[in-house]
């Protein structure tokens, strides 16, 4: 008997995830991929996957994987008018690959469990390239039994599939990972313009911060793009800001002092207030460039 697997959300991450699930299938599964935006669905095609904008296509799914913009959208899709939670097979498992606040993930999981479903919060890291290659890191929160049931599926999309603990643990891990990344970018945004204002060559400086002891994925990804003046390739600042909000909620709720995170948040807010919310995280450098009257650019730029 075949198992019905549905993927909801077919953006840069969701569609390659759906493809990898189907391509590495065991022949006993049927796949449906759904997005509420008909324009996004148009042109998507993969053998073995039914692609549609019709939510009713998830009816009877035993596994529902969500790859949505944030926790509010997840809640709306599951519990809002015509919510998918009422369409799933009895005892279905919902796997949330989206980035959702820790507390919200716990609440969603408990609400699903009260309806007889199982839940795994399983945010991913690795960017669209990792989704395409099937090399994502998947951080999971939920019961050991639910994790064990979903691990073979998740190993089709990721090379690191980790059970981090009970409900919400996956999202908490993703928040921590993202906040450390954000702090790296905020530090670059603050310090690089100062160095240029002091007379250092941006290209030579870039060669140091991308290879020396300060190097990080953040510097290796963003510094070359800053040198080229490219700020529209990554995840938009306005959407990514939710990670810092989530960290602040944990800090306030538990009384954990996070002074460095608070400083990085202020840098983020400067970029947002300057109108760069639709640009990627590298755009945090722009307010500091404006303040100091310099550009962190390669000479040809």
| CATH number of the domain bearing residue 287 | 1.10.1040.10
- State which of 141, 165, 189 marks the end of a domain: 165
CATH of the domain at 144: 3.40.50.720
pLDDT along the chain (301 residues), means of 10: 90 94 91 92 90 92 95 93 89 95 93 96 92 96 98 97 97 93 96 98 97 95 96 88 90 94 96 97 97 93 56
Record the pTM. Answer: 0.88
Looking at residue 43, its pLDDT comes to 84
Other Cβ atoms less than 10 A from the Cβ of 273: the count is 10
Is residue 298 in some structural domain?
no
Q: Do 184 and 54 fall within a single domain?
A: no
Read off φ and ψ for residue 136, nearest 5 degrees.
-65, 160
Residues 6 or more apart whose CB falls under 8 angstroms from that of 297 comprise: 202, 226, 227, 228, 229
Do 155 and 48 lie in one domain? The reply is yes
Residue 235's pLDDT is what? 83
Non-local (6+) Cβ contacts of 233 within 8 A are 225, 280
**pLDDT at 146 (0 to 100):** 98
- Expressed as residue numbers, the domain containing 257 is 172-292
Does residue 153 belong to any structural domain of this protein?
yes
**Domain total of the chain:** 2
Residue 299 belongs to a domain? no
What span, in angstroms and rounded, lies between the C-alpha atoms of 109 and 121? 8
Residue 111's closest CA among 139, 74, 57, 145?
74
Pair 118, 230 in one domain = no
Domain end: 144, 165, 186, which one?
A: 165
Residue 300 lies in a domain: no
- Judge contact between 10 and 34, C-beta under 8 A: yes
Where b means 16+ CB within 10 Å and e means fewer, 25-59 reads beeebbbbbbbeeeebbeeeebeebebbeebebbe
> What's the pLDDT at 13?
94
Which of 165, 199, 231 is where one domain is finished?
A: 165
Cα angle value 107/111/112 (rounded, 5°): 120
């Amino acid at each position: 008997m075949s198992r019905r697997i549905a993927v909801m959300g077919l953006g840069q991450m969701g569609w390659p995830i759906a493809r990898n699930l189907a391509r590495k299938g065991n022949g006993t599964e049927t796949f449906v991929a759904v997005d509420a935006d008909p324009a996004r669905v148009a042109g998507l095609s993969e053998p073995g996957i039914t692609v549609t904008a019709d939510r009713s296509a998830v009816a009877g799914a035993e596994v529902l994987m969500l790859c949505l913009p944030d926790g509010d959208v997840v809640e709306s899709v599951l519990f809002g008018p015509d919510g998918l939670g009422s369409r799933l097979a009895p005892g279905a498992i919902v796997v949330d690959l989206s980035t959702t606040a820790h507390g919200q993930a716990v609440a969603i999981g408990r609400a699903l469990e009260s309806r007889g479903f199982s839940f795994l919060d399983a945010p991913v890291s690795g960017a669209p390239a990792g989704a395409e290659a099937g090399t994502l890191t998947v951080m999971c929160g939920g019961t050991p039994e639910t994790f064990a049931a979903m691990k073979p599926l998740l190993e089709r999309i990721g090379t690191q599939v980790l059970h981090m603990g009970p409900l919400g643990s996956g999202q908490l891990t993703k928040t921590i990972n993202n906040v450390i990344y954000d702090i790296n970018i905020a530090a670059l945004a603050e310090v690089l313009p100062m160095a240029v204002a002091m007379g250092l060559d941006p290209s030579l400086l870039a060669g140091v911060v991308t290879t020396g002891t300060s190097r990080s994925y953040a510097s290796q990804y963003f510094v070359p793009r800053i040198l080229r003046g490219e700020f529209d390739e990554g995840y938009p600042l306005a959407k990514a800001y939710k990670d810092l909000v989530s960290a602040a909620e944990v800090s306030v709720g538990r009384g954990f002092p996070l002074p460095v995170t608070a400083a990085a948040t202020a840098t983020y807010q400067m970029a947002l207030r300057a109108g760069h919310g639709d640009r990627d995280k590298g755009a945090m450098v722009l307010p500091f460039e404006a303040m100091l009257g310099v550009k962190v650019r390669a000479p040809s730029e």
